[in-house]
Structure 1
Amino acid sequence: MLPLTVVNAVLLPMADAGSDGQPDWFVGWMRVDASGRISGIGPGNPPPEHSAGPASAVLDAGGAIVAPGFVSAHSHLFTSGLRGIAPDSTLYPWLRAMSEVFRHADAEAMYWSTVHGSLDFLACGITTAYNFTQSRVSRAFDPATGKGTVDGVHPPEYLTRQFDGAADAGLRVVNAIRLDDDAGPEREVFAEFADMVAASAGRTPPDQHLGASVFGSVQWAATPRTAELEARVMREHGIGNQAHFLETAEELDVQREKFAWYADAGVLGPALLLGHFVHPTDEMVAAAAEAGCAMVWQATSNGRLGSGIADVVRYSRAGMRIGMGLDDQSCTDQSDPFGNMRIGMYTMRALHTDASVLLPREVLRMHTLGSAEVLGVADRVGSLEVGKFADFVVVDHRAPGTGPVWDVYATYVMACGLRNLKQVYVGGRLASADGRCTSPLAADADGALYEWIGRAAGQAGMHPALDSGGQAPGARP
């Protein structure tokens, strides 16, 4: 690619104060080299060594805000075709409805679901995602407790095509893989997990592949052995683990007992991320903070599913690092990081009856650099700093207009939204403009999603209320 110089931009680098000697925000420039990394950034006009030459491109932001691409530290990209499903359900009835569809899906359905979810993220300004892949093992879930029983195993392509979907769409990913210890002998389970870790890296371009991770599943495990096995593969592969934990209020005593399983297995530490973590005791928060565990906050999905309120102010004050995620596209329904920040920030202010407990810059940091930090990828993404990938969004607060800017971060977080998002760049390349992705796959993604997910849903006895043309089935003459 040609080097790119961004000029006339209101830059929100999200670098911590003093890390590069730059002010917190400024009107200035940014230079992207031919490898897609930031080679210079600063206020004012670019110096001669960073000015655009004949063999480079210029992006004149015209006074728009340029900020890092959002990082979703907790996502399930394959769920993009099931938005609005089970709209009156809490977690486990909703999960049961969704799992029925994916039990009947094949590898190509999983591919196009992931492509669609990844392109949707890019169109909404999310350039990096921690992606919980759908396991090859299908389970029937008890809608009251979430306990699942194995009812089928798909071929390896069911999982590897999900890797391909995110890769082909151009999203940066950490791929999370479940250790399906309830589906076979341990030797086979370990071998399959190793194969999938290798496939995650081998099927994703190196600059897009930010690592693999354990899809922590102790919340649904029957014995402490699951925690022990997760600890083993973390050590063997040198990877982290994000566990869905204490997400709902069902059987809280049973859920809370399992915190000790991770502690006894030696998993508590910086490599363990606690996804959701809505209902911990004070003792758990203190232990997690002391061990260096981080927490990933899904403000929108917790509200949509009625899971409860994760008090991230309390966790942060205890010393826990916080990231943010968009969770399933089937339980956030819109992949809207601006809405996610606002829902979260306003919920915390209401909970604490204090508007100062969480400020716009703080919540923006959680959804950018903070998420990159908890994922262990902040050396590459999450802020606009020299040496990092040039993943950024162009947000014009004047189109549509938001009025005078009294506080830049307040305007960006509180007054702007997807309607103001004009362009998304990944590695200095245009990935989306005015909500439309530039990927060649974008033209086919909607139709393929309807076809493949519609087929799987039909086999499960589920049918959309409207077809892809917006008509009720059978309504066309």
Structure 2
Amino acid sequence: MTLIVHNAVLLPVAGEEPWLYGWFTVGDGGRITALGAGEPPAQPGERLDAEGAFVAPGFVSAHSHIFTAGMRGVAPNDTLYPWVTRNTEMLLAAGAEDLYWLTLAGALDFLGAGVTSAYNFTQSRVLAKFDYATSSLKAAAVRPVEFLTRQIDAAADAGLRCVNAVRLDDEQLPESEALQAFGFAMEHVAAAVPPELNLGGSVFGSVQWSTAPVTAERERAMMRDHRVTNQAHFVETAEQIDIQRAKFDWYDKAGALGPDFAFGHFVHPTDHMIDRAAETGCAMVWQPMSNGRLGSGIADVPRFLGAGMRVGIGLDDQSCTDVADPFENMRTGLYLQRAKHSDATILTPADMLRLHTLGGAAAIGVADRVGSLEVGKYADFVIVDPRSPDLGPIWDPVATYVLACSLRNLRGVYVGGRRVWGDGASTHPLAPEAFRQLHDRMVRVAGENGIHCAIPRSAA
């Protein structure tokens, strides 16, 4: 049956108009079939009256680690590498089913914040700690491949559209085992994730933590053999920056750079790195709140945009962004850039909305399906009511949406035209159980490694 969304202030993030009072229809396949201004033409179908609220595309988190939903507030005063090690220590006793429930809760948390699509870095089956002496990851524990596949299952079971990324761990495992596990995970994505939720597979780029160029060559081979993309964490922190920068050419010489490659963070690149990334068609994904929380720095996003790079925004970890709030993420990014450049025109509210929706989709190669309200794309959208609580007169709808709206104004979240969150709660039948399991399992596995919860759920 056709769904008719009407009486809406549409923020399509596509086309010539930044906003319009109008409507759109959703067909049986969960895609937008028509869109227009004014009142919809008479037609049969179920009607969804937005009652004059904003209707905008669901947010895209182009860089996410969804399994971290149970680790908010962890290592609150640490920079990247000590924080990474603390996260690993908390998960050393975790098994595949633990990661399933952690990921399910994290994915439902994303949906409840209006994030309908995500690039998800799965927690590697090699639990590793950062070693300062070698500037690399050292294995602390190794889990079976189900550790990966159950995370993939969980995101799909939540109903979140995902690109699923997997790390090779070729320095921590025998090469044949690492490549075989990666292939198995990509096959699982294709076979187990419903097609409408499957935004593809990807390499979790890890050359920044490798000791030899061969890792870049292996990642490039996986991109080619499995026809997947690659997003690499790169020059995120100023720590050991010369070592990090020296590894950029490893990717270049391996032939990995190109339209299917994105740099996550890219906070401290050299001029050469920016020029070469732009020249080869690479994308960049920006995490404003995470970079601030970890003291990583402020990426020069206007420069990347000016160089012609595709740029998207991600929410990163729930353990370093702490609250999966795309509104706060947009504002943090906007204000940091304006302060950095002493220029209030350097980025606009419309720029920020695009970066966290269509820009994010473009950066991870899925803009043909999500990221904007357009005919033919999935009907993933949020209803945001600026009158509840009342924000006053609306002089500029896009500016009000980005600068003044927040999760308290979020009235509903829809994936493929189906409501997944509304009235302050998830519609998913497993939501209460998912969050109970999140508390119980996270507290248990961290406790087994001597990390104890200050206020467990039973006492809260």
What TM-score range do you get, normalising by the shorter chain? Answer: over 0.9
The alpha-carbon deviation at position 145 of structure 1 amounts to 7.4
Q: 1:115-141 CA deviation, whole Å, 9 max, x = no partner?
A: 010000000000000000011112132
Letter in 2 for 1:112: W
- 1:142 shift after superposition: 3.1
Match of 1:4 in 2: 3
The equivalent residue for 1:296 is 285
Where does residue 143 of structure 2 map in the other structure?
Answer: 154
- Alignment correspondent of 1:346: 335
Q: Deviations over 1:286-319 (max 9, x none)?
A: 1111111110000000000000111101111121
CA contact (8 A) 1:150 1:182 kept: no
Q: Are positions 1:27 and 2:15 aligned together? A: no
Distance 2:366 2:57 in 1: 14
Please tell me whether the aligned partners of residues 96 and 142 of structure 1 are also in contact (alpha carbons under 8 angstroms).
Answer: no
The match for 1:250 among 219, 225, 239 is: 239
Residue from 188, 200, 204 that aligns with 1:211: 200
1:443 partnered with 2:432: yes
Alignment TM-score, normalising by the size of structure 2: 0.98
Contact 2:72 2:319 in 1 (8 A): yes
Structure 1 distance, partners of 2:454, 2:27, is 48
Residues 400, 143 of structure 1: alpha-carbon distance in 2 compared, 3 angstrom cutoff: farther
Aligned 8 A contact 1:92 1:145 in 2: no
Q: How has the CA–CA distance of structure 1 residues 143 and 305 changed in structure 2, closer, same or farther, with 3 Å as cutoff?
A: farther
Answer whether contact 1:85 1:330 (CA < 8 A) is retained.
Answer: yes
What is the letter of the counterpart of residue 106 of structure 1? G
Q: Is 1:91 aligned with 2:80?
A: yes
Conservation of the 8 A alpha-carbon contact between 2:152 and 2:164: yes
Residue in structure 2 matched with residue 475 of structure 1 by the alignment: none
SS state of the match for residue 332, structure 1? coil
Q: What one-letter code is carried by the residue in structure 1 that aligns with 2:342?
A: T
Find the counterpart in structure 1 of residue 443 from structure 2. Answer: 454
Is 1:287 the counterpart of 2:276? The answer is yes
- 1:393-412 to 2 correspondences below 5 Å: 393-412=382-401
- Whether 1:184 and 2:173 are equivalent positions in the alignment is yes
Structural mapping, 1:321-340, within 5 Å: 321-340=310-329
The letter of the residue matching 1:38 is I
User: Residues of 1 paired with 2:13 and 2:214: CA distance?
Assistant: 41
Conserved 8 A contact 1:145-1:251: no
- 8 Å CA contact retained: 2:124, 2:167: yes
Structure 1 runs (4+) deviating above 6 angstroms are none
1:101 to 78, 83, 90: 90
Identity %: 58
Deviation at 1:185, TM superposition (A): 2.8
2:405 equivalent to 1:416: yes
> Is residue 260 of structure 1 aligned with residue 249 of structure 2?
yes
CA contact (8 A) 2:18 2:398 kept: no
User: Cα deviation per residue 1:228-263 (whole Å; 9 max; x = unaligned)?
Assistant: 100111111111100000000011111100011011
Mapped contact 1:92–1:144 kept (Cα < 8 A):
no
RMSD over aligned CA atoms reads 1.2
**1:60 and 2:70 aligned:** no
Instruction: Provide the residue aligned with 1:123 in structure 2.
Output: 112
AA matched with 1:263: D
TM-superposed deviation, 1:146 = 5.4
Other structure's SS at 2:75 match: coil
Deviation at 1:186, TM superposition (A): 2.2
Per the TM alignment, residue 143 of structure 1 is displaced from its structure 2 partner at its CA by 6.4
Rate the CA distance shift 1:382–1:40 in 2: closer, same or farther, 3 A: same
Gaps of 5+ in 1: 18-22, 472-477
Partners of 1:421 and 1:434 within 8 A in 2? no
Native 8 Å contact 1:96 1:143 kept in 2: no
TM-score (structure 1 length as normaliser): 0.95
**Is the Cα contact below 8 Å between 2:443 and 2:456 reproduced in 1?**
no
Q: Deviation at 1:144?
A: 8.2
Q: Distance in 1 between matches of 2:230 and 2:15?
A: 26
Match of 1:46 in 2: 40
Between 140-149 and 301-310, report the one with greater CA deviation: 140-149
Between the aligned partners of 1:231 and 1:8, the Cα distance in structure 2 is: 48
Determine the structure 2 residue equivalent to 1:278: 267
Change (3 A) 1:222 1:16: farther
More deviation, 66-75/436-445 = 436-445
SS in 1 for 2:373: coil
SS at match of 1:173: strand
- C-alpha distance after superposition, 1:27-63 (max 9, x if no partner): 0111011111100110011123xx3x2xx31110010
Q: Partner of 1:444: helix, strand, or coil?
A: helix
In 2, the alpha carbon distance for the partners of 1:175 and 1:311 equals: 27
Change (3 A) 1:145 1:400: farther
Structure 1 Cα separation of the partners of residues 134 and 457 of structure 2:
35
Distance 2:298 2:145 in 1: 37
SS at match of 1:295: strand
Provide the C-alpha distance between the structure 2 equivalents of 1:148 and 1:88, rounded to a whole number of angstroms. Answer: 21
| Separation of aligned partners in 2, 1:254 and 1:235 | 27
Letter in 1 for 2:163: V
Using a 3 Å threshold, how does the CA distance of structure 1 residues 34 and 259 change in structure 2: closer, same or farther?
same
Rounded to whole Å, the distance in 1 between the matches of 2:221 and 2:88 is 28
Partner of 2:381: 392
